[in-house]
Structure 1
Amino acid sequence: MKPISQFLAGAALTIGSLELALWLLPVSSGFASPPLSPRDPVVHYVPRTQYTSSSGWLMRDAVSGRMNSLGFSGPEVSPTDQSIALIGDSFVDALSIRPEKRVGYLLENSAVPKPVVSLGVAGADFADYVVAARWAEQHLKARNAIVVVNEEDLSSSIQPKLRGYWYEGHGSELQVRSRSPSAFRNSIGRSRLASYLVYNLKFSPSDVARSLDPFPAVKKDMPAPAEANLKQRAVQRFVHDLTTLRANGGHVLLVLQPNAKAIYSGKQMSRPNIDLLVKQANAEQLEVLDLDAPFRRFYAKTGKRFDLSDTDPHWNEAGHQLAAQAIRQRIASWHIASPRYVAKPVKAAVAG
């Protein structure tokens, strides 16, 4: 038993030393989310908590900051005078970009009607966007919404997830299901070693569990016709729910993310999910802005990237600037009265 106890003691000492050492380094952390409830239905981070975002095992390009009182990474906002809600996933969240360089902040500090509140959170998709838009309308008086979507959103919107909302078919009905963040997921942020493994090294405990299972469950993919039918119904539900936001005289703009690999190669690549969404949006007369054209013009003129890397399609600072400029030009025709409002600076709350 002595060798076993010595091994366990050594392992505990090693883990403890790593934990202490990583507290001194810019490990990606601070991404816990409160449970979903009728009073707090939107997926967001814990309000007013510190976060750090860094890349890879070397923890490069570290950016640190503080979530605002709503639990998002944008500037502090007032819940009584919002004009536009900017909704999306990690492209809007953009924790790897300094706050003053993100699309939400660039819009906020431009000539568009103010204020603009960013409601972006990693892993969000169609059903999450609708919940966020409705909540913003009710609690932030944001009758106008800009929703940034990508090709993967539709597919992920019909799959169960660990945090948030998704569409599920039950016979002829389409239901919206939800799941609160697990205690295990939130506990990751309390350990720097766990955060480093999950967020920096992209270690997935669920994938490891499946690989160690000696009797893995046979998972059958959804038949193609059934999946196509569910996607069609999900798109119809998503677009219909967004159009209801216009009932009070508001505006909704769908912003379509471009395919960086297609642009860099000078080719046109199929975007079947986006095409399905655009077709339904046109039928419902929902306004659409495809960023493909302005991003192609930028790359043809400069030859510079607008994403972070070949393996990370998120926008770099140039991408955020391009997106903000294209959105600003499109919504200029909305003629929204701008309240007297000055965006609160975020630089003082940022380090890294």
Structure 2
Amino acid sequence: MQLISSIDISAQKNVKTVQKEYDVAAFLYPAYASDDPRLLPFWPKGIGEWETVANMQERNPGHYWNRKPLWGYINEADPSVMSMEIEAATKHGVDVFIFDWYWYDNRPFMETTLNNGFLKADNVEKMKFYLMWANHDVGNTWDTRISHEPNIIWEGKVDRQEFEKICKRNIEKYFKHPQYYKIEGKPVFMIYDIPQLISGLGGVEETVSALKWFNDETKKAGFPGVDLQLTMWSINLNHSGFDGSKTENPEREFVKKLGFTSATHYQFVHFTNVDQDYMAIMEAVKKEWARIDANFDFKYYPHVSVGWDNSPRLGSSAVVKNNTPENFQKTLQMAKEYVDSHPDQAPLITINSWNEWTETSYLQPCNIFGYGYLEAVKKVFKGE
């Protein structure tokens, strides 16, 4: 019989459990800025899309949607404001921002939040970031005065010359930044709309060539390559220009042919009915993750959306019900368990979002739930 001394018992009691580290990444929508003149046609008051949040009741008297940010209508392109946000995010376990990134009219759009705010924050070393190229068309959705009028202001597609210009700029300006998020040394670059990409580049084969060129250019810059991340939703998984007749899984072969090495979702609304209870959506999420595991070769990083309600922009919307911080926490726990069951990949979880107020899917504190959503992240990923 082995005797354990009182010293041994005391030592065991003092052993601290080491909390596993996770990369919790929240999408950041960069429209809440006061220093970007290109936003003024949509939001003439000069506070970006906060204008849509602030005047919701004025436009729709008595509407149930009456959210207010506890931090106020902050200018996220101000480095001191972003410093505060980085502090709050990292304190609660969010350590990566995925910036929605735009390029229209041959130049970047809504980039001041990243360039003037985040990258100039005095504590930027606490946080990683990467880009999701939101290469969709822009219509009147952002302008509540004419949001119901069909119209295309800017097209999201670009040709090969413009694509190369974009890639070279991002490699130099962002990929080489010490805070850019990498997996196995590869900068992660997410693309939102594959049909737009293919249309602009001229076809599937031309897109394969362009993405291979992008990977080669990233290698020339000193990296092992680029981690091309696919935005998972139906429009991105098939294309009329791809012959999938010789394979039993054309979606998988299509993605592989294009060269995507990883994937995540941007929003639950992209793959299930969100006009229902959050717990029912959780069941759909479980099935989606299982389907992806069974049908694709890339590494999938689990995604959790806070909610969905586009009423501030459109006046009415599908609405996620019962998406309380407590239920949100359950889905985060599910994502954590998914990561733990896939030890061969980065411990990355994506969340929609840090600040999508007009889609009612945000982590930032509000008058309804206070810091509840951030506290949920903290409980799951920091064990506090």
Q: TM-score range by the shorter chain?
A: 0.3 to 0.5
TM-score by length of 1: 0.37
Structure with the bigger RCO (C-alpha within 8 Å, sep 6+) is 1
**Structure number with higher helix proportion:** 1
